Amino acid sequence: MITFLQKYFILILNIFVISTIGIFYFLPLDFNIYYTDFPLKLFFRIIIGIVIIVSCIDIFFRWKTLVQNISPFRTFITILASFLICLYPYKYKMILGLGIVLLLLCLFYGIYKRTFYRPHPIMIAFFLLSFVKFLSILWSDNFSKSFHHIDYYCLFIMLPIVSCFYKVQKKELYPFIYISFIVFINLMTLNIASYIFLVKQYQKPLFSFLSLSKGYLGDISYIETMKWSVTLHQSMIGWGFLLVFVMGYWLWRENKQKWITTWHIIFYFTLLIMVSLIIQARVVILGIGIIMLVFLWVELMKRIKLKKKIIYTSFAALIILFLLPFLIIKKNNYFNDEIRNRMNIAAWNSFKESPVFGKGAGSEENVIIKAGYDFHTLHNDYLSTLVEQGLVGFVFILLFHLFVIYFGLKHKFLLGVYVLITFFLFNTTEGIMGSPICIPLFLFCLLPPEDTSCSSSEKELSLPSDIPT
């Protein structure tokens, strides 16, 4: 009985919380967190503290198995990396400083251990992309403005260097993913609880969020349900939840039932759908469907015996996958955004004027101003690269994507493929490339780990052994 409670502690607790607050919605009580003298911001800070405590209790139950055979210092690095992921939906700006600390710790540890790894093609492509981003300052029209526009890439010049001294071991991925998975279940429950309190306060139907309309709450903004977060951006919060879902799915397939059970995955998936509709994160609503297709594709590929068919069908599926978001956004009124369409057209016209090298760092702001809007970015990293660094920059970002997919399949390391596809979805609608959250994710999730031997079901998905590296 104790083992069962420990294994399903988070599930039982969160289901109990949601059920209790769901019953509260139907009770004729006047109390509501949105209508009290107690400061709302302080209330949510207290709740976040409780979320941390509850998460720590669950992690404590599994601590010995999670960090088994991992050295104390590497355990600390893994926990710090996972902590950065957990911070993202709450206060993403805090990640920058801690990301620098993470890189320095990895670098110093590698130097101390005298380890050196041959530069990986994935990181070489990423280094060249970052270098071209910096180099494009030279042909921009305003040096100081352009440097300020891409200064965050300083860290990403350093990331490929660090990867030559520190390589994540496969067993370190388990605590890295599990910790953030558990924390995010609690945060999504908090978001749903906030929603129930809000609709009760303003006498709205409990299932208003199913309407697929940004105005589903009338005069009240759905942003109110996210007041627990300092980030307060529905796409960023929702994308973070989606990202950890694909990571958790990989861990579930990798070590069935050991840490993340089928019930954990089902519960997380249910919460993810509800929260994405509540906060109207359209990129996540779209992304859930596409990610499900990716998981289905992987399962189908395991049943194809001819290796050549795996290669052909995989590349065909990837082409469809990359085109699908554009088609859905263009044809569907709910996902369509006229402002972004106009900015995209202006960006394409700018690219045609200087297709090879682009117009330099920061030039996307000029494109946006000419289109008649006041944004800092095009909310599309691929278009931004075409405008600022032209085809030269786009080739490197394309190589980066292709290398992640190729080496992920070659080494049977599907985590990198899942994470990359989630990045692709967000890069086409908001833009995440170069953000501090990339530091722990690229370091832990994109490069095949040291011990790439697979004892999981992913072992069945393989490429021909005669493909040259």
Q: Closest by alpha carbon to 217, among 198, 193, 191?
A: 198
Q: Which two tokens stand for residue 55?
A: 């998460």
What is the percent of the chain with per-residue pLDDT over 70, rounded to a whole number? 90
- Judge whether residue 331 has pLDDT over 90: no
Which range (12-16, 248-252, 433-437) has the least confidence? 433-437
- Judge whether residue 219 has pLDDT over 90: no
DSSP one-letter string for 415-457: HHHHHHHHHHHHHTTT--TT-TTHHHHIIIIISPPS-----SG
Distance CA 116, CA 119 (A): 9
Q: Which amino acid is at 198?
A: L
Distance CA 198, CA 202 (A): 6
Radius of gyration (C-alpha) of the chain in whole angstroms:
23
Q: Closest by alpha carbon to 61, among 7, 140, 117?
A: 7
Q: Closest by alpha carbon to 368, among 342, 388, 402, 407?
A: 342
pLDDT at 92: 81
- Judge whether residue 115 has pLDDT over 80: yes
**C-alpha distances in angstroms, 465 versus 295, 407, 409, 412, 450?**
24, 13, 11, 12, 19
Q: Which two tokens stand for residue 19?
A: 């059920």
**C-alpha distances in angstroms, 366 versus 153, 165, 379, 462?**
20, 40, 14, 46
SS3 36: coil
DSSP type of residue 37? S
pLDDT at 271: 97
pLDDT at 307: 66
Q: Closest by alpha carbon to 93, among 152, 178, 53?
A: 152
pLDDT at 93: 79
- Judge whether residue 409 has pLDDT over 60: yes
pLDDT tens, residue by residue, 135-155:
999 888 877 778 777 777 777
pLDDT at 299: 82
Quickly state the pLDDT bin for 456 (edges 50, 70, 90). Answer: very low
Distance CA 135, CA 466 (A): 38
Q: Which amino acid is at 183?
A: V
pLDDT at 434: 77
Q: Answer with the residue of higher pLDDT: 26 or 316.
A: 26
Distance CA 342, CA 328 (A): 17
Torsion of the alpha carbons at 396, 400, 402 and 408, rounded to the nearest 10: 170
pLDDT at 149: 75
- Judge whether residue 182 has pLDDT over 80: yes
pLDDT tens, residue by residue, 253-287:
987 668 899 999 999 999 999 999 999 988 899 89
Contact 24, 200 (CB under 8 A): yes
pLDDT tens, residue by residue, 361-386:
888 888 888 888 888 888 889 999 99
pLDDT at 54: 96
Contact 171, 69 (CB under 8 A): yes
Quickly state the pLDDT bin for 309 (edges 50, 70, 90). Answer: low
CA 207 from chain centre, in angstroms, equals 27
Distance CA 354, CA 351 (A): 5
Distance CA 79, CA 224 (A): 31
Quickly state the pLDDT bin for 465 (edges 50, 70, 90). Answer: very low
Phi/psi-derived region of residue 437, left when phi > 0, alpha when psi is between -120 and 50, beta in every other case: alpha
- What lies within 8 Å, CB to CB, of 57 at 6+ separation is 9
**C-alpha distances in angstroms, 376 versus 149, 380, 451?**
9, 11, 42
- Judge whether residue 453 has pLDDT over 90: no
Handedness of CA 360, 364, 365, 371 (dihedral sign): positive
pLDDT at 466: 45
Q: At what angle do helices 363-370 and 381-410 cross, to 10 degrees?
A: 130
Q: Answer with the residue of higher pLDDT: 430 or 129.
A: 129
- Judge whether residue 185 has pLDDT over 90: yes
- Judge whether residue 462 has pLDDT over 70: no
Mean pLDDT over all residues of the chain? 86
Containing 358, the helix (H) or strand (E) segment is: none
Distance CA 278, CA 337 (A): 19
pLDDT at 168: 95
pLDDT at 2: 54
- Judge whether residue 218 has pLDDT over 60: yes
Distance CA 410, CA 408 (A): 6
> What is the pTM for the complete model shown?
0.90
Containing 58, the helix (H) or strand (E) segment is: helix 40-61
- Judge whether residue 454 has pLDDT over 80: no
- Judge whether residue 5 has pLDDT over 70: yes
- Judge whether residue 176 has pLDDT over 90: yes
Q: Which residues of 448-463 are buried (b: 16+ CB within 10 A; e: fewer)?
A: bbeeeebeeebeebbe
